[in-house]
């Protein structure tokens, strides 16, 4: 016990030094720019303006709230997140449950199924874009072969939204599958067996025993997926050429990009960024809850 | 009898779903690779040619002939390696502190910061970073990019490394301390050898994320520090979408990753699970 307390005392002294490099990176690359964004958001800076910039208080925020494109971008962001979750979570959990059965060949299937997860989103998005092509794309060709009339994927708002949801799901389902698989491996088998002996069928066991036991794992997965959906940038940049057609798939992140780097309205983009931070903060609260339960 | 039939149907359904999922997972990869070795005419025909075409290396030749492509590929490799080493080193030190020291002054603020860095979309910091890097004269600068790449992956790498440090029995460190070893000596001689496999897994992960990074270089790199994802994204601005060379460039980005994923899957899977659940 004496050794332990002396280790702790030594460690506390050393710890500040060990975390110093992390602090440097976080402060230089995140904290400083966010303070910079707050400062910019109260001014009227644009790239290449003639008049010297000045302090305009909350005008950029007022402009954002009055802009229909701002509200449209929030709606698009929410739709992409919600549709994505509705597609990804059931499929990811379902595949995990099937892999958990440990049928012959499971190893091979697991290897194949995780491949999409870590591929470069920009490259992947570009190839899906080719596959979604209305005239020459392999997807609409296959749909036509099945007697279906494929939508104009990238030419309409909902077609483009679904295209992004499909590619995002293609990359995210393996992640959900792996986390749930790890969660399943950690569950005690007793309650499931007991329910089976009591006459419950496989479906009942899943919904009444396994799924509730997975609650904390699913909550963590859900949270990570929400965070990453809000962050989604590369896929939209590539698949719909930065939020097209028109502004149909312009998420809040894309609106910030287009405002700051398309129209060079630095200060307005900064204000939108601060609003986005405020919207992400509730997730932090969710995270704390999930961490406590997990 | 009925139970046996039921089990057989269950199995058949499972395999059908797995086969379908495997097809969906692999087809875009197959399509990228096959488009990359097709001629222009074979690319633009319906019905699509899946196997019956004359392979050509022309698309790859076109990519390698692009002015500056070698430079771009080298940039990507250098920035990926340097930022990964920096990130893993910094994160391992922080992970050791967080795992072994329950109380130190900046512990709570650091934990909060790590979550915020992970949760706040990086696009938010890009506008001010653009202004700051321009003012400091480090826009399009390799070193600045390396710092930023490393920073965005610090939370993930720290959590992952924490889970590996926690697997090292504290008693090992205690007995080394009783024998009179200092903390840094213990970290170097006792802990480090035991977490090396974990560091390797973290390194692979962070390297993949850095290799794929797009947001940072598309905004903060010009011609001198341009990376492969930025180069690939340039195709969407071209008036005529030229799918052959595009597929070749995409293949050059994703093929190394697909191979690495298959080879290192054991590490990736265990690492991802523990790192993500920790977060």
Segment 57-76 of chain B within 8 Å of chain A by CB: none
ipTM: 0.93
> Between chains, do A115 and B22 touch, taking CB under 8 Å as contact?
no
Specify the DSSP class assigned to residue B128.
H
Domain count, chain B: 2
Cβ of A3 and B174 within 8 Å?
yes
CATH code at position A151: 1.10.3720.10
A49 domain residue, yes or no: no
pLDDT per position as a tens digit, B251-272? 999 998 988 888 888 777 777 6
Q: Report how far residue B249's alpha carbon sits from residue B242's, in angstroms, rounded to the nearest whole number.
A: 11
Q: What is the rounded distance in angstroms from the CA atom of residue A226 to the CA atom of residue A75?
A: 15
Q: Which of B:194-213 have CB within 8 Å of A?
A: 208, 211-212
B8, B121: one domain: no
Inter-residue contact B97 to A19 (CB < 8 Å) = yes
* Shortest alpha-carbon distance between residue A164 and chain B (Å): 15
pLDDT of B279 strictly over 50:
no
B217 and B265 housed in the same domain: yes
Residues A43, A49, A51, A53, Cα dihedral to 10°? 20
* Minimal C-alpha gap between B269 and chain A (Å): 7
In a domain, residue B99? The reply is yes
Closest-CA residue in chain B for A95? B18
**CB of B51 less than 8 A from some CB of A:** no
- Helix and strand element counts for chain A (H, E): 15, 0
Instruction: Tell me the C-alpha distance between B264 and B212, whole Å.
Output: 17
Determine whether the interchain pair B124/A241 forms a contact, defined as Cβ–Cβ distance below 8 Å: no
Q: Is B176 an interface residue toward A (CB < 8 Å)?
A: no
3-class SS of residue A43: strand
- In this model, does residue B82 exceed pLDDT 70? yes
Residues B256 and B211 reside in one and the same domain: yes
Inter-chain touch A202–B10, beta carbons under 8 Å: yes
* Residue A55 bridge partners (DSSP): A43
Q: What φ, ψ does residue A8 adopt, rounded to 5°? A: -60, -40
Looking at the fold, whether B17 and B141 belong to one and the same domain comes out as: no
Mutate one of A73, A105, A115 to test the B interface: name it (highest B CB count within 10 A): A115
**pLDDT-derived band at B239, boundaries 50, 70, 90:** low
pLDDT, position B240: 65
Evaluate whether residue A245 is within a structural domain. Answer: yes
List the domain range (segments joined by +) for residue B229.
Answer: 68-278
Contacts of B261 in chain A (CB under 8 A): 114-115, 117-118
A124-172, pLDDT tens digit by residue? 999 999 999 988 899 999 999 999 988 999 999 999 999 999 999 999 9
Residue B182 and residue B260 share a domain = yes
- Give the burial class of A277: count Cβ atoms within 10 A of its Cβ; 0-12 exposed, 13-18 middle, 19 or more buried: middle
Tokens found for residue A205: 């066991």
Q: Helices H, strands E: what count in chain B? A: 14, 0
A198 in a domain, yes or no?
A: yes
The closest CB to that of A115, out of B48, B261, B272, belongs to B261
The answer on B169 and B52 residing in a single domain is: no
Together in a domain, B112 and B24:
no
For residues B116 and A284, is the Cβ–Cβ distance under 8 A? yes
Same domain, B102 and B42: no
List the end-to-end C-alpha distance of chain B, in Å, as a whole number: 47
Residue A43's beta-bridge partner residues?
Answer: A55
C-alpha B36/C-alpha B258 separation (Å) is 16
pLDDT tens figures, B190-231:
999 999 988 998 999 999 999 999 999 999 999 899 999 999
B72 & B53 share domain: no
In the 8-state DSSP scheme, what is residue A53? P
Give the pLDDT score at A168: 97
Residue in A closest to B32 by C-alpha: A127
Q: Tell me whether residue B15 is exposed, middle or buried, using C-beta atoms within 10 angstroms of its C-beta: 0 to 12, 13 to 18, 19 or more.
A: middle
Joined together, the tokens standing for residue A267 give 């200060």
Tokens linked to A63: 């402009």
Residue A288 within a domain: yes
Q: What stretches of A27-120 show up as alpha helix (H) in DSSP?
A: 32-41, 59-66, 68-100, 106-114
From the list B44, B125, B258, the residue facing A136 with the nearest CB is B44
pLDDT bin (cut points 50, 70, 90) of residue A238 is: very high
From the list B41, B61, B38, the residue with the least C-alpha distance to B51 is B38
Cis peptide upstream of residue A245 (ω within 30 degrees of 0): yes
d(CA B183, CA A7): 8
- Quote the pTM value: 0.93
Classify A124 as helix, strand or coil. helix
Same domain, B96 and B189: yes
Q: Output the pLDDT for position A185.
A: 87
For residue A270, give the nearest of B127, B183, B214 by CB distance.
B127
Chain A residues in contact with B151 (beta carbon < 8 A)? 25-26, 28-30
If you average pLDDT over residues A100-118, what whole number do you get? 91
Radius of gyration of chain B (CA): 24
Nearest to B97 among A15, A174, A256 (CB): A15
- Measured between CA atoms, the residue of chain B closest to residue A219 is B277
Q: Average model confidence (pLDDT) for chain B?
A: 90
pLDDT value at residue A5: 63
B190 and B265 part of one domain: yes
Rounded to an integer, what distance in angstroms lies between the CA atom of residue A164 and that of residue A210?
31
For A62-67, what is the mean pLDDT? 95
Picking from A28, A30, A121, the nearest residue to B212 by CB comes out as A121
User: Closest partner residue to B101 among A15, A114, A131, by Cβ?
Assistant: A15
Torsion sign across C-alpha atoms A292, B151, B255, A168: positive
A12 assigned to some structural domain = no
Q: Give the range of the structural domain holding residue A99, as residue numbers without chain letter.
A: 68-293
CB-side neighbour CA atoms (13 Å) of A153: 24
Give the distance from residue A114's alpha carbon to the nearest chain B alpha carbon, in angstroms: 8
Joined tokens for residue A148: 């279906």
What pLDDT, on a 0 to 100 scale, did the predictor assign at position B52?
81
How many domains are contained in chain A? Answer: 1
B158–A22 C-beta distance less than 8 A = yes
Q: Is residue B63 part of a domain?
A: no
Interval A195-237: pLDDT, tens: 888 888 888 888 999 999 998 889 889 989 999 999 999 999 9
pLDDT bin (cut points 50, 70, 90) of residue A102 is confident
Which of A106, A119, A144, A266 should one mutate to test binding to chain B, selecting the residue with the greatest count of B CBs within 10 A? A119
Query: Considering the domain boundaries, does residue A43 fall inside one?
Result: no
Report residue B262 as tokens.
């298959």
**Separation CA A169–CA A134 (nearest Å):** 21
Give the Cα separation of B182 and B174 in Å (integer).
11
Residue A217 lies in a domain: yes
**3-class DSSP string for A230-290:** HHCCHHHHHHCCCCCCCCCCCCHHHHHHHHHHHCCCHHHHHHHHHHHHHHHHHHHHHHHHH
The CATH number linked to B81 is 1.10.3720.10
Residues 6 or more apart from B185 whose CB is under 8 A from it? B176
**3-state helix/strand/coil string of B70-102:** HHHHHHHHHHHHHHHHHHHHHHHHHHHHHHHCC
State how far residue A117 is from chain B, nearest Cα, in angstroms: 9
Interface of B with A in 129-158 (CB under 8 A): 129-132, 147-148, 150-152, 154, 158
Q: Give pLDDT, residue A79.
A: 97
CB B149 within 8 A of CB B260: no
Query: Does A33 fall in a domain?
Result: no
Determine what percent of chain B is predicted with pLDDT higher than 70: 95
Domain identity same for B13 and B121: no
């Amino acid at each position: 016990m004496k050794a332990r307390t002396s280790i702790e005392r030594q460690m506390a002294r050393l710890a500040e030094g060990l975390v110093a490099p992390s602090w440097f990176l976080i402060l230089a690359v995140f904290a400083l720019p966010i303070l910079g964004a707050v400062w910019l958001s109260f001014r009227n800076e644009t790239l290449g303006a003639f008049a010297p910039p000045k302090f305009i208080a909350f005008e950029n925020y007022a402009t954002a709230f009055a802009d229909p494109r701002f509200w449209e971008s929030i709606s698009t962001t929410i739709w992409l997140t919600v549709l994505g979750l509705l597609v990804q979570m059931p499929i990811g959990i379902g595949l995990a449950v099937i892999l958990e059965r440990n049928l012959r060949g499971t190893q091979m299937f697991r290897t194949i199924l995780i491949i999409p997860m870590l591929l470069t989103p920009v490259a992947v998005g570009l190839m899906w874009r080719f596959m979604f092509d209305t005239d020459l794309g392999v997807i609409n060709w296959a749909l036509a072969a099945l007697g279906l009339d494929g939508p104009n994927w990238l030419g309409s708002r909902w077609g483009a939204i679904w295209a992004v949801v499909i590619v995002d799901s293609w990359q995210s389902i393996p992640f959900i599958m792996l986390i749930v698989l790890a969660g399943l491996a950690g569950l005690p088998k007793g309650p499931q067996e007991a329910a089976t002996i009591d006459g419950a069928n496989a479906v009942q066991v899943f919904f009444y025993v396994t799924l509730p036991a997975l609650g904390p794992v699913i909550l963590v997965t859900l949270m990570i997926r929400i965070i990453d959906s809000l962050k989604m940038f590369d896929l939209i940049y590539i698949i719909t050429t930065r939020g097209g057609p028109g502004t149909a798939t312009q998420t809040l992140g894309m609106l910030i990009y287009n405002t700051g780097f398309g129209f060079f309205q630095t200060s307005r983009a900064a204000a939108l960024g601060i609003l986005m931070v405020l919207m992400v903060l509730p997730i932090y609260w969710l995270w704390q809850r999930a961490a406590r339960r997990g | 009898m009925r139970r046996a039939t039921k089990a057989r149907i269950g199995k058949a359904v499972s395999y059908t779903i797995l086969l379908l999922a495997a097809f969906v997972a692999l087809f875009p990869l197959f399509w990228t690779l096959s488009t990359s070795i097709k001629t222009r005419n074979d690319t633009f025909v319906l019905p699509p040619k899946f196997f019956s075409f004359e392979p050509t290396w022309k698309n790859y030749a076109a990519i390698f002939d692009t002015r500056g492509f070698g430079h771009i590929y080298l940039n990507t490799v250098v920035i990926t390696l340097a930022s990964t080493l920096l990130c893993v080193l910094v994160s391992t030190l922080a992970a050791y502190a967080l795992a072994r020291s329950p109380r130190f002054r900046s512990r709570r603020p650091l934990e909060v910061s790590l979550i915020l860095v992970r949760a706040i979309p990086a696009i938010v910091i890009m506008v001010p970073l653009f202004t700051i890097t321009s003012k400091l004269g480090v826009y399009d600068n390799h070193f600045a990019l390396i710092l930023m790449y490393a920073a965005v992956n610090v939370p993930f790498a720290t959590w992952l490394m924490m889970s590996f440090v926690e697997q090292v029995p504290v008693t090992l460190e205690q007995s080394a301390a009783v024998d009179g070893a200092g903390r840094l000596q213990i970290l170097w001689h006792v802990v480090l050898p035991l977490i090396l496999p974990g560091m390797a897994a973290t390194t692979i992960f962070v390297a993949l994320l850095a290799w794929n990074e797009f947001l940072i270089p598309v905004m903060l790199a010009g011609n001198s520090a341009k990376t492969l994802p930025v180069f690939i994204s340039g195709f969407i601005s071209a008036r005529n979408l030229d799918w052959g060379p595009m597929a070749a460039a995409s293949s050059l980005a994703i093929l190394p990753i697909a191979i690495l994923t298959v080879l290192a899957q054991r590490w990736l899977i265990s690492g991802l699970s523990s790192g993500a659940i920790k977060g």
